[in-house]
Amino acid sequence: MSFKDSKITHSELVKKLDLRNKKSFFGDNFFKALVIGASLYTLLMVALVLFALSEGSIPIFLEEGINFITGTNWNAVEGRESFGALPYIIGTLVSSAIAMVIAVPISVGIAIFITEMIPKKLGTVLSFVVELLAAVPSIIYGLWALFVFRFWIRDYIEEPLHNSFGDYISIFARAPFGLDVFTAGIVLAIMIIPIITAVSREVIKAIPHSQKEAAYALGATRWEMVKTAILPSSKTGLMGASFLGLGRAIGETMLVTLIIGNAIGMAAIPTSLFSQSQTLSSIIANEFNEASNDLHLSALIGLGLVLFIITVFINIMAIFIISKVSKSYSNLRE
Amino acid sequence: MVNLKSYRILGVSLLALSLLVPVYVNSANAQQVTINGAGATFPFPLIDTWRVEYQKVNPDASINYASIGSGGGIKQFTEKTVDFGATDAPLSPTEFEKAGNPVHIPETIGSVVLAYNLPEVTTPLKLTGPVIADIFLGKVTTWNDPRIQELNPDVTLPAEDIISAHRSDGSGTTFVFTDYLSKVSQEWNDAIGVGKSVQWPSGLGAPGNEGVAASIQGSPYSIGYVELAYALTTGMKYASIQNQDGNFIAPSINSTMAAVSAAAPTLPEGSQPWNNVTITDAPGPDSYPISSFSYLLLYKELSTNPSMNEQKANALVEFVEWAVTDGQQFAEPLGYVPLPQSVIDINEQTLRSLTFSGNPILTN
Amino acid sequence: MNKDNSSNKKNKYKSIIQETIARNSSKRKMKNNLITILLCSFVIIAIIPLSSILIEVFKNGVGALSFDFLFQPPGSIGSQGGGIGPAIQGTLLVVGFATLIGAPVGILAGVFLSEYSSSSRIFAYFLRLFNDVLTGIPSIVIGIAGYITIVLTLGSFSILAGAFVLSIIMIPIVARVSEETLKLVPNTLREAAYGLGLPKWKVVWHIVIKGSKSGILTGIVLAISRIAGETAPLIMTILGTSLFFGGFNSPVDALPLRIWRLASQPYPSAHEQGWGAALLLILLVLSLSIALRMIAQKRSITFKTTT
């Protein structure tokens, strides 16, 4: 558009620009509405889950009150209904605790190994392999654990422990046959290792080079450098990574239903490492499709609500920890 | 790079479309009707055989049955998400009312057996009701407990802990089993009671008859309750149980039939409540003590289910009529007891009373 | 004299220090090597289950594969025949429909976080937070919500309910990856487009989104491989069936669901079919993951060469 040649006046030009603004005004607002709509939809989904769970739990909370959280009954027999979530909360905590005790050291160790102790190319390959562990669907973990791994654990870990220590230490007292909270904990650990490893790697990579170089300059070996320069400042970040893994372990369902033994009520509180147990998610999966009793169904939804609150709480903690850590790193960076 | 991706997307959509082709070819045939049912795992082997055999009788009707447990069957039937339900536990008065007073149609009779996994023991074990109750209560904990030993004096029982297996889902098989235990053990009746889901004091839980059978198979020194067909088809050992008359009876077609006729129940009409019908702990010298009917649930007025239309209603009722008459020939090979004529007569009467929009469905 | 003494002392100290360093450094080196070996064994511990799973699935499942297996419906319980055709079809359909819902919503949410967040910082903050929270919600809980909102309302188990819950799982994954990819587009490109007089929506659509196609695709493929393996939310939304797709308000089957049901049966033929289905599922998921990696690597190279 050349203004000099065409005999267009200033006002006509303004009009032309106005026209174009009108068209793009429409397109812009439509697109913006689409984008905001999608964002609202996402928020709506979270609200929907919370709302559905809350509405469905009202009957059981009206009936049992706080006893729903502290009670240990799980009786669906008509006329004797009573439901309490405590055994499953304990089962969830115990299986996740076992998983964390195993997974966190291994994951942090792998993360350190991959980022600091081997050449970069090999590190990329190894991290890819570990990530493949995360890609395997949990039902296949369950299948493998049920038909293969559980016998391996029973024969090479549980039986020796039971035979050697069963008489002295109560947590090894039960006769093991592979389907128990211990096996569940071990397989959960394998499932969450890739998650904790991936985030730990990011945390460790974010440590400024100056710290590492300073340690090397003082004559540290690789491990000493890690111990002095990386671990102290990444502790919070690694904690955040562990929390993410914990959240995943707590929410895992299919794998657990196949190998934890599916005990009910009081019997689900594990008294030994080799006890059968039950987690919040596994009992929902087992009983949801057939709870014809209204109160029973509401109790299961109530368990879902408890599970929801626990996982959201842990995830938010993890998010805050990790964001605090990345902020402190940007302060450290030169 | 872009080309590769578009080819992949194209390939996947072609694959998806190609799998839809058999569906569209099928649904092009307007006569095709699919009937959805869900419920008990107890009769599942039989219903699944019916699914395959009825296709030969009436190629236009497809039966789809989801074996999710009696509790699930009752629930889905009440929610009207399926066309018929199946349960071994008759509806309780509360469930009956909530479901809108459906009809019960016994479609087969089966027995619950105590299957066990004892690698060293080859002769069938003998057990009594009270001992079984105490095993599942967690009071009898080892196989060589004197109470088991005295019932089986000629057998060397291992000194291993007993692992008891039970259902983790809502199960009519559990209902039948606990119904029996409540009759023979006062302690069981007080502590646990009868139900599709009960508060098991110990033991391993698995979903479905299939799951319990798999658990027993996979865990030496375990014992659990499963429907006879599952024990027969997997080759598991099962116990002979002492009946009311004092005889140790092994579960079989004959002993279950004896239980059905000895209990001589005055069966209600199809549309009445069936919650008092029970043939466990039946009298008679040859009766097997843990036997049970298994029921199909249908609405008396089929249009109560909004997704039902006349074509579907006809297909459903015709299928059920076939199942309780011609279909009974498939029962015995699978270990189920064919319905006695008296029960078939009651069923026919019930089926004739079914209507769609007020019109009776069976007209011959 | 003093000077001699002090330099002698210095030399003495020097030699003591050197000796100590020499002694300690071998101890330290040994410690370093031991720990390296320990950590290396951790890696091996993590890899052993993976290879065991892959080997077992392949070993047990390959025998079940056949034309019948892939295309036929299941036969009678416990029988040798039949296949898992409906499950394969069901997975493709449910995942496909879930993607149709979840991918656009996720991408647009990511666009908001990347391009429009300045218009309302608080909203963007909460969106990002809730997005991350949504990623962490157990899928069974989402399944319950889906059952209550869709199955009970429509009155039947259906592919719609299944697609709905899977799309909820998908959205936060796609949104997160899209946001990060879109942010990588250099501002200079945006400014150039504005300078040419393009309206905002055209800038976002033609320049930013089209420029991050591979990154966004990475996010979608990542989400697909995640939801293809989900079982728990499907139990209470599609129920599972032995028939092929029969309509939008009938139950359908899916691979993970079928695996679960087959694994719970006591029949060896069922177990073999279960392993076969697992093999198919793992092939699907792993090939998606590997393709993902290749796209991601190619993408990082592309971006390095432009700006």
- CA-CA distance, A215 to A233, in Å (whole number)? 13
Determine the length of chain A: 334
- Write out chain A's pLDDT in tens, 334 residues: 454 556 667 666 655 655 455 556 677 888 888 888 999 999 999 999 999 999 999 998 998 888 888 888 888 777 778 888 999 999 999 999 999 999 999 999 999 888 877 888 888 888 888 878 888 888 899 889 988 898 888 888 888 888 888 777 777 777 777 888 999 999 999 999 988 998 888 888 878 888 888 888 888 888 888 888 888 888 888 888 899 889 889 989 988 988 888 888 888 888 888 888 999 999 998 888 777 678 888 999 999 999 999 999 998 888 888 777 766 666 655 4
C25: Cβ contacts below 8 Å, ≥ 6 apart: none
pLDDT of residue A105: 93
Mutation site for B-interface testing, chosen from C91, C157, C264 by largest number of B Cβ within 10 Å? C264
Q: Are B167 and A262 in contact (CB under 8 A)?
A: no
pLDDT < 70: residue spans in chain B: 1-7, 10-12, 14-31, 263-265, 363-364
Contact B292, B110 (CB under 8 A): yes
Using the Cβ of B5 and the Cβ atoms of chain C, whether some distance falls under 8 Å is answered with yes
B163–A289 CB contact, under 8 Å: no
* Predicted complex ipTM exceeds 0.90: no
Widest pairwise Cα distance in chain B: 80
Contact predicate A276/A179, CB 8 Å = yes
State mean pLDDT over C150-179. 87
Backbone φ and ψ for A51, nearest 5 degrees, come out as -65, -45
pLDDT in tens, C243-252: 677 677 777 8
A232, amino acid identity: P
Which residues does A270 contact at the CB level (< 8 Å), separation at least 6?
A: A90, A91, A94, A180, A181, A276, A277
For chain C, give the percent of residues with pLDDT over 70: 89
**Which residue in chain C has the smallest CA separation from B27?**
C246
Half-sphere exposure of A247 (CA within 13 A, CB side): 28
Q: Which two tokens stand for residue A11?
A: 């006002």
Nearest CA in chain A to C50: A133
How far C86 CA lies from chain A's nearest CA (Å)?
A: 18
Distance between CA atoms of B96 and C227, rounded to whole angstroms?
Answer: 39
Q: How much is the pLDDT for B320? A: 93
**Among A1, A136, A314, which would you mutate to test the C interface (most chain C Cβ atoms within 10 Å of its Cβ)?**
A136
H or E segment to which residue B206 belongs:
strand B204-206
pLDDT reported for residue B189: 92
pLDDT for C303 beyond 90? no
C206 inside 8 A of chain A by CB: no
* Cβ proximity of B167 and B230 under 8 Å: no
Beta bridge partners of B38: B66, B85
Tens of pLDDT along C83-141?
A: 788 888 888 889 999 999 999 999 999 888 888 888 788 888 888 889 988 988 999 99
Cα–Cα distance, C19 to C14 (Å, whole number): 8
Q: Is B187 on the interface with C (CB under 8 A)?
A: no
> Is residue B296 within 8 Å of B105, Cβ to Cβ?
yes
Out of B68, B92, B200, whose CB is closest to A78? B92
Kindly state the percentage of chain C with pLDDT values over 90.
13
Count H helices and E strands in chain C, helices first.
14, 0
- How far is B274 from B351, CA to CA, in rounded Å? 16
- Taking contacts as CB-CB distances below 8 angstroms, the residues of chain B near A263 are 200, 202-205
- Measured in angstroms, the CA of B88 and the nearest CA of chain A are apart by 14
Q: Which residue of A has its CA nearest to C39?
A: A109
Phi first, then psi: give them for residue B170, nearest 5 degrees: -75, 115
Shortest CA distance from B165: residue in chain A: A261
What average pLDDT does range C190-211 have in this prediction?
Answer: 82
Q: B306 to chain C: which residues are within 8 Å by CB?
A: 155
Three-state DSSP class for residue B249 = strand
Place of tokens 């709905």: C164
Write down the pLDDT at residue B284. 85
Neighbours of C10 (CB within 10 A): 10
* Cβ–Cβ contact B308 with A under 8 A: no
**DSSP assignment letter at B199:** -
pLDDT of residue B3: 60
Return d(Cα B208, Cα B198) in angstroms, integer: 15
In this complex, the residue of B1, B49, B208 whose CB is nearest that of residue C76 is B49
- Chain B residue nearest residue C86, CA to CA: B19
Neighbours of B216 (CB within 10 A): 31
Judged against a pLDDT cut of 60, whether residue C306 lies above it is answered with: no
Q: Mark yes or no for CB contact A140/C278 under 8 Å.
A: yes
Structure tokens at B85: 């339900």
Let me know the angle formed at the C-alpha of B58 by B54 and B59, rounded to the nearest 5 degrees.
100
- Chain A residues whose CB is inside 8 A of the B195 CB are 76-78
Q: What is the mean pLDDT of chain C?
A: 82
The C-alpha of C245 sits at a distance from chain B's nearest C-alpha, in angstroms, of 6
Minimal C-alpha gap between B38 and chain A (Å):
10
Mean pLDDT of C133-156: 87
Which residue in chain A has the smallest CA separation from C149?
A52
Query: How many C-beta atoms lie closer than 10 Å to residue B30's C-beta?
Result: 8
CA distances from C306 to A78, C188, C218 (A): 70, 12, 20
**Chains that contact A by 3+ CB pairs under 8 Å?**
B, C
Q: Which helix (H) or strand (E) holds B296?
A: strand B291-298
Residue B269, beta-bridge partner list: none
